[in-house]
Structure 1
């Protein structure tokens, strides 16, 4: 059985207990707000633990001995996550949505560059990939927006979400925060289509980055799509465990 067949089996089983609403919906949303914020920030070097992330998001407290930036990244990501859920029923992902998401995440870190395309070229360590020049970004992002509208139904929802992440992070439109924004819009695509989040634990950072580089340097998207599919499947299994849904893959 392929990973996509497993995902579709789980998706069907979870869909049978939908809709999630009321207290249950809030519980699930809050549960993954902490997990996604912590993991996405940790991949980028944020030093807060998952317990400290919970304290920041739920109590609004700073953590003694931790950089203030780590606090701002956590609060900002939580706000961007909340905005992501306001778009759950839209099945749209526009340039303006992406800018808003980045602005919410980044405004307390660097207000001048929050939600604004970068004005300088970038070089990312670990890859020889040449990112678009600043003057090319607006056109590339509008092209991506059109791709979302025209191609979304031509892919499995999990594959589409993974490809959206790859395309966005390879444009690298912001001066900073592109990785976190790419994971947010990927997960937005997933929840809009009724799928679970893809949460990437920091321990898998080398594999995550390697599969991105395979796309950027060799044009191979399959390794990354498979990697993301595995992460969605893990979340599905966790949801099924939390909701006491039998897992039958026979």
Structure 2
């Protein structure tokens, strides 16, 4: 449905030139959303897919094993959209306190994303509501170091930003003037908390994401915070117990369509087309995450059978193997600490795991070696090649 612009254009002066900034109208859309049978079915299917994904805990022996690496996969993908070149292996290697082999700012940026998500989820679980304060806290951790550390981490912007172009005057899109940021975020906060109307979780996440991206309240990091908002909102709404849904791969693979929908919403009010795109992304992404979890369960079971078949060293070997499931890229000393097995024994067990084809050594060195649970990392790394 084409409603016309979903906000107002205001001419402002920025750096001595006239600029047309866009101020979005508060949600929900006016006139109200028109969901035909097909679109409503897409939204319903997305919700069902989220329910199946939420039941992944029944499938995995320990959901934390999946979440640890899957959260990091999302961090890599979301940061890649913003231009970083880090891979999942780079991040896991960095966290193992080894040289990441990529520009330090890239891998630091990805690591900060993990910290921001974990902090945000901890706040939601202790009952803190989604709010401007929560978003600022997430942003502060996201930009705490590396690139963007000088872009007001944890604070809304005090100057005009823009998207595309070299300055506001030739930009593809200019978000609200800085004085309008706080009121726009307050209105978004009210909508998220069902004022003035109750909105179902999938629709709420879809609408809130576009609104946040349109407000663009920070000098840097808006895309990453906006993508985090989707998952945190679905968890806050009780649709997901854990942050298992990440749309960055879907947005990465459909970048042109994604940006076209954001523009269409602002200029023509076509919320329905965006909702269809978003619902398809939720359904596809949730299904892919569930499939990945199933593949990992099968891989763990096959590798565990190999470990148990080795005979008298199986107990120590199993403990090292289990430690690798928790940290799929690690040093021998880290694995010794996590498995409560002596370092010499760990080194012997790693040699056996290499002989079984389960573990790969990454450095080619004789000292300070780094080991990878190769197939686990390969499965999780699918789709994470830099743009």
TM-score when normalising by structure 2: 0.56
1:187-206 to 2 correspondences below 5 Å: 187-192=231-236, 193-195=238-240, 196-201=244-249, 202-206=252-256
| 1:150 corresponding residue in structure 2 | 194
| 1:44 corresponding residue in structure 2 | 82
| 2:324 corresponding residue in structure 1 | none
**Residue 139 of structure 1 pairs with residue 183 of structure 2:** yes
Match among 202, 219, 232 for residue 282 of structure 2? 232
Match among 87, 97, 100 for residue 134 of structure 2? 97
| 2:122 corresponding residue in structure 1 | 86
Match among 100, 106, 124 for residue 163 of structure 2? 124
- CA 1:38–1:223: 2 relative to 1, 3 Å: farther
TM-score when normalising by structure 1: 0.84
Match among 131, 136, 152 for residue 113 of structure 1? 152
Structure 2: tracts of 5 or more residues without a match: 1-37, 166-170, 296-387
What is the rounded CA distance, in whole Å, between the counterparts of 1:16 and 1:105 in structure 2? 29
1:15-38 deviation per Cα after TM superposition (whole angstroms, max 9, x unaligned): 5676799x6231232132122101
More strand by share: 2
Residue 107 of structure 1: how far off its partner (Å): 1.3
- CA 1:6–1:40: 2 relative to 1, 3 Å: same
- CA 1:85–1:20: 2 relative to 1, 3 Å: farther
Larger Rg: 2
- CA 1:155–1:62: 2 relative to 1, 3 Å: farther
What is the rounded CA distance, in whole Å, between the counterparts of 2:109 and 2:51 in structure 1? 35
Give yes or no for contact 2:90–2:107 (8 Å, CA) kept in 1. no
Between the two proteins, the alignment pairs up a number of residues equal to: 242
More helix by share: 1
Residue 86 of structure 1: how far off its partner (Å): 1.1
Instruction: State the SS of the aligned residue for 1:150.
Output: coil
**Residue 219 of structure 1 pairs with residue 257 of structure 2:** no
Give yes or no for contact 1:157–1:190 (8 Å, CA) kept in 2. yes
What is the rounded CA distance, in whole Å, between the counterparts of 1:88 and 1:28 in structure 2? 20
What is the rounded CA distance, in whole Å, between the counterparts of 1:223 and 1:240 in structure 2? 26
What is the rounded CA distance, in whole Å, between the counterparts of 1:181 and 1:155 in structure 2? 21
Q: Quote the RMSD (CA, aligned, Å).
A: 2.8
